[in-house]
Structure 1
């Protein structure tokens, strides 16, 4: 009886050993698949970051090339402000000249008695 019981126990131990071995193989396969997936994601992230960096460089170049245009715009704006100030000043001077000339003419007419 001992031999039969021992044989059953040994068979169960072998079955457990085989089960453990299958579980380890499955775990290895899962780890291997997970590792492949992680590496794939890393490659994807590297490609995406490269694409983003290329786009950022393109935007930087566009902004750098637009910089002279922006400075030209600011220069023109300052010139327009200066021209507006000059124009207002000239209109004031012109107004005073016309007022002075009309006053002189009116005074001359008054002195002539007309």
Structure 2
């Protein structure tokens, strides 16, 4: 074996290694490209979902403010209802007292105007 053949064999081996490295690099590049395309699709889907979520949340803000307004109105109505209940029970109590004491009241009125039986 002379020196030229050794050099040629070495060059062939280096050429095969470079071809192998080139094929492996192409395969890795293709896989990376596919992953990037898949991520692009997923990012587009997420952007659409976030846009829908933002619309939903902004719509809920109006509903929340309406709920708070209704809650304040209900608290006011509850306060007014308590006062009306107190007034109503007083009126009913007074009416019951007057009805129960009617004969006494009528006698006192007759005595006051001078028509004593």
Distance 1:104 1:42 in 2: 90
- The question of 1:95 aligning with 2:80 is answered no
List runs of 5+ in structure 1 lacking aligned partners: none
Q: Which residue of 1 is the match for residue 32 of structure 2?
A: 38
Distance 2:42 2:88 in 1: 67
Q: Which residue of 2 is the match for residue 29 of structure 1?
A: 23
- Residue among 45, 49, 52 paired with 1:51: 45
Taking structure 2 as the reference length, the TM-score comes to: 0.74
Distance 1:14 1:52 in 2: 56
- Residue among 68, 81, 89 paired with 2:75: 81
Structure showing greater relative contact order (alpha-carbon pairs closer than 8 Å, 6 or more residues apart): 2
Q: Which residue of 1 is the match for residue 56 of structure 2?
A: 62
Q: Which residue of 2 is the match for residue 11 of structure 1?
A: 5
